[in-house]
Structure 1
Amino acid sequence: PLAIKVAPDGNVWFVESNVGQIAKFDPISEQFTEFENSIWPEGSRTMSWGMDYSSDGAMWYTDGSFDTIWRFDIINEEYTPIQYPVSEEGSLPQKLSIHGSNIIVNDFTGSKITFFDLSQNTDEITYSSIVAPIPNSFTGDFGIDSENNLWYTNWVPETAGLLLKFNIEKYKQDSYLAGIGVDIFLEDYFEVYDFPQDLNTANGLSIDNDDNVWIVDTSSSFFFKFNPNDQTFTKFVTSTPQKSTYGNATGIIKSPISRPYWSQTDMNGNLFFNEQTSNQLAVFNIDNEHLVEYMVPSKNPNWADCEDNSKSNCGVAQIFGFDVTNDNIWFTEWAENKIGVVDIKKPLPFTVSTNVESVILKKGETETISLSINPSSSNIGDINFNSAHTASTITKSSDLLISHNFNNSNEIIVSITANEIALSGDYKLLLGVFNSEVTVSKYIDVIIES
């Protein structure tokens, strides 16, 4: 199972990528129904990253192996393949979203975004594509803001990357000019922003209620907020992965990373993302900057550096697909052949708070703050401290040095030291606690003065 989508009636649909078909799970009866795809080539496999529901009662999903998008008619239980326009350098239709009368698909390796017109019969469906500006590059996930602008990423790992804003409405209004022989230039409809430092593999992209753009980076533990009003990026970091997810039997993993992969926002001011190599699903409250990360119980030891491959509590389940609806996060486990759900309405075993929201440090200076643990019951079991920050770790001992002591079961004293050779700047420091099921943290701002 890979891509997943919850339909308006509450049924959960997902793509079975090894057999090229989709299946339905009824949460009420807890029954699965699989729908055989008779036109799928026998023995073929694919990676279907994108899936969405259209108001005519159909599920649409991408097929990266045969450069196809598929329509499944839920009522008639019929599959219809639609050929994706292949780029000269090759294509990989990846994420898929239905917006009005359009299906929008990013071509990950083909450097374009394609719009399919849903108002037409599938036999005569038309499309148009926007070619990305960086040649031989990857075109990542996308989102549409409240003014109908399309935002997406275009990048070459470790080399160059752009966040692009495309004015859909203006382009539609001017398209008739091309029909009467007037030249229109695609670049006139773009605004382009360079990636910030440390954003290298921009997979997931989402837009919040205030039209801020959120991008997660799959080659690190970072995720980023872009504010279109002042055109600035803010970098955040996830918690450090728990050892049970990466094992480190060989000892070669010195700095484990979580690899945030895809993202989604809701109307309640939350950002959701999956952390591939920390086996967690994250919920970030955009307003108060609290982060909750739910550990998925399934762990496959073959996908981590585990000492004993028969040991169940080591590894990752490869949580590649998720969908959020009605306070539930439905997700797929690609390596475990499962789907699952997180009930985010369920009270957390503990919350955290700090006595300050920000700290200003001179180089070489130390500040001490209090992290309070607020349990929901008298028996919360063993908990552990976790910290991470966005300051540089390239220097020999990191620009920010964090140490802690448990003052009592409900308070941790945290010492924050700015390295003598630290780079000046504004950073995010994540402080929290975790048990085997959940990590609860909050961010504070740390300013290192020049």
Structure 2
Amino acid sequence: MLPRKSIGVIIIVIGVAIGVFTYIQISLQQNEATHSITNRNQNPYIEEYSLPVGSWPNGIIADKQGTIWAAASKTNKLFSLEPKSGMIKEYPINDEDFTSDNLERNSTMVWAIVQDNDGVIWFSPLGTKSIWTFDSTTGKFHMIKSETGSPFQMKVDKNGDIWFTTLSKDTLGVIQSMGNDRYKVSSFYLGNDTGPAGLFLQDDSVWIAEVTTQKIVQYKISQQKELVRNITKTLEIPASVKTMLSAPTDLIVSDNTVWLTEHGTSFLTEYKLSSSDVVRYPTSQNFYHATTLPFWIRNTSDGKGLWFNEHEGNKLAYFDIYNRTLLEYNIPSLPKDGFLTYPLNIALDPFDDKKLWFSEWNTDKIGLVNGKTAIHFGISTDTDKIMLRNDTSKGNIVNLEVSGQSPYSSNEVFLNASSSIMPTAGFGNMMVKFSSSVLDLSSSHRAQLFLQNHGVPAGNYTLGISASDGFVTKIIFLDLVIP
């Protein structure tokens, strides 16, 4: 799944049948329908809301009033969710000004949804030449033709302009209001096979994550009479061939640092602009020892945390920038005929960015992670750095302690280790073993991790050590140096 340089796989086309869910009695009201089903008891950190069977939700946003909007991938519908009541409404996407031929092409994946400064919802089905608006006050849709292509990601700047990437079209676009419900869509060609995915707006610059070139590029925005006229490349990273990125998909720029998801790996990556130093923070390893595929990334308003989704990790993740710790929240639902739920998209709650909304593509659900729910256990080690030479006669021992209790798992926690040595977060030619992989916190809080190098290439790596109760995983990171 998800070849690193192919749009066809980034859009995740999987032959997975849809599970059977509870029948939902739908009450039609003009062009909308309402229903409400909430799942609350499977995970103390996550709530889930069921959509109609066959919805396959992807693009999601929490608007300024706290209403959640999600787009169906196969049914030409936009859903709204009122979190307090659990009430869900569905709106068939239709613009009376256009023919059905134009509308049929909307039966595809909607990756990007934003709300503009006037409260209008914008979205676009990838692979079409259309961008849609929805006015929630009138319930009306409007389609705008876009020869630039359809957005893969959209962001609204301080002036109200909507910037977007097109992924397969190798262009950056911007939508600007011309007044009287008229809009100008401009496009800027970024080069052959660039694969622009994520974007980040900073002052008079726009940063682009290019999946295909494996680059992060900064452009200066040139405006004239409040209209965008041109963009000029000012920076491209990595600057050296010694550093390679693997399918960078999304990014946040803060404090002279670029934070990015490398979708070809299991890493959240930190790139220092001043020194070009790179630190990769691995997620926990999944059951299949495959890459967890971090995808979108969102930063909290205080600048202290980053949320991201793992397309094959079955988790949503929160990284504490200052403490350098990672929390992973397990998605409770699974498809009936599969072992992984695909949380394709994420959105911060507008009133509390310690809460994250996400779409469950192959379970027909919307989920909410509550990052304020207390976690009753912690993990620590007796060191923050390990130097391990290539010598099979010697090894290294890390002493670790799991504090607190684990009330949701009969007081048991499960230990795991991961690293930035391998894209899968595995260890390659390094032996890794815990003295005990399960701790009963009723009687024991300590364990040891044994490490022995059997030929790992020299370099600076990151070691992750985690404890999990099956619902949430806490990961701490150590520097791992192979001289």
Matched, 1:93 2:93: no
Deviation at 1:355, TM superposition (A): 1.4
Q: How do 1:191-340 residues align onto structure 2 when only pairs under 5 Å count?
A: 191-194=235-238, 199-208=245-254, 210-241=255-286, 243=287, 255-268=289-302, 269-302=304-337, 304=338, 315-325=339-349, 326=352, 327-340=354-367
In 2, the alpha carbon distance for the partners of 1:136 and 1:297 equals 38
Inter-partner Cα distance in structure 2 for 1:403 and 1:212: 34
Give unmatched runs, 5+ long, in structure 1: 179-183, 247-254, 305-314
Matched, 1:102 2:170: no
Look up the equivalent residue of 1:95 and give its one-letter code: Q
Supply the distance in 1 between the matched residues of 2:330 and 2:290 (Cα, whole angstroms). 16
Aligned residue pairs, count: 405
1:35-50 residue pairs with structure 2 within 5 A? 35-39=91-95, 41=103, 45-50=107-112
Query: Which of these residues, 187, 199, 202, is aligned with residue 142 of structure 1?
Result: 199
What does residue 310 of structure 1 align with? none
Establish whether residue 62 from structure 1 lines up as the match of residue 124 from structure 2. Answer: yes
**Structure-1 residue corresponding to 2:41:** none
Superposition pairs for residues 111-150 of structure 1, below 5 Å? 111-118=170-177, 120-123=179-182, 125-133=183-191, 135-145=192-202, 147-150=203-206
**In 1, distance between residues paired with 2:379 and 2:401?**
6
CA distance in 1, matches of 2:88, 2:214: 42
Aligned to 1:311: none
1:391 corresponds to which of 408, 412, 421 = 421
Contact 1:203/1:218 (<8 A) preserved: yes
Call closer, same or farther: CA 1:281–1:9 in 2, change over 3 Å. same
- Classify 1:126/1:448 alpha carbon distance in 2 versus 1 (closer, same or farther; 3 Å): same
SS of the equivalent of 2:173 reads strand
1:366 to partner: Cα distance: 2.0
Which of the numbers 77, 80, 83 marks the counterpart of 2:142? 80
- The offset of 1:378, in angstroms, is 6.4
Quick one: structure 1 residues 289 and 233, their matched pair in 2 at CA, closer, same or farther if it must change by over 3 Å? same
Distance in structure 1 (CA, Å) of the matches to 2:427 and 2:110: 42
Q: Which runs of 4+ in 1 moved over 6 A?
A: 173-178
CA distance in 2, matches of 1:206, 1:20: 31
State the TM-score, normalizing by the size of structure 2. 0.77
Q: Secondary structure at the match of 1:2?
A: strand
Shift of 1:11: 1.2
Inter-CA distance 299–380: structure 2 relative to 1 (3 Å threshold): closer
* Native 8 Å contact 1:111 1:154 kept in 2: no
Does the residue aligned with 1:401 lie in a helix, a strand or coil? strand
Is residue 346 of structure 1 aligned with residue 346 of structure 2? no
Residue deviations 1:49-70 (CA, integer Å, cap 9, x gap)? 1111112121111221422221
Q: What SS does the corresponding residue of 1:172 show, helix, strand or coil?
A: strand
The unaligned stretches of length 5 or more in structure 2 are 1-56
Shift of 1:119: 5.1
Q: Could you tell me how far apart the structure 2 residues matched to 1:33 and 1:165 are?
A: 40
Matches of 1:44 and 1:398, distance apart in 2 = 44
Distance 1:51 1:424 in 2: 44
Gap change, CA 1:446 and 1:111, over 3 Å in 2: same
Change (3 A) 1:77 1:351: same
Deviation sequence 1:33-56 (CA, Å, 0-9, x none): 122223363595111111111121
Letter in 2 for 1:233: V
Counterpart residue identity of residue 348, structure 2: V
- The structure-2 alpha-carbon separation of the partners of 1:85 and 1:196, relative to structure 1 and needing over 3 Å to count, comes to farther
Q: Is the 8 A contact 2:164 2:174 kept in 1?
A: yes
Secondary structure of the equivalent of 1:331? strand
Deviation for aligned residue 1:148: 3.6
- 2:19 corresponds in structure 1 to none
Cα deviation for residue 270 of structure 1 reads: 1.0
Aligned twin of 1:172: 223
What SS does the corresponding residue of 2:223 show, helix, strand or coil?
helix
Change (3 A) 1:212 1:346: same
448, 451, 463: which one pairs with 1:416?
451
RMSD, matched Cα = 2.7
Q: Give the whole-Å Cα distance in 2 for the aligned partners of 1:9 and 1:175.
A: 29
TM-score (norm. length: structure 1): 0.83
- 1:214 to partner: Cα distance: 1.7
Does the 8 Å CA contact 2:267/2:423 hold for their aligned counterparts?
A: no
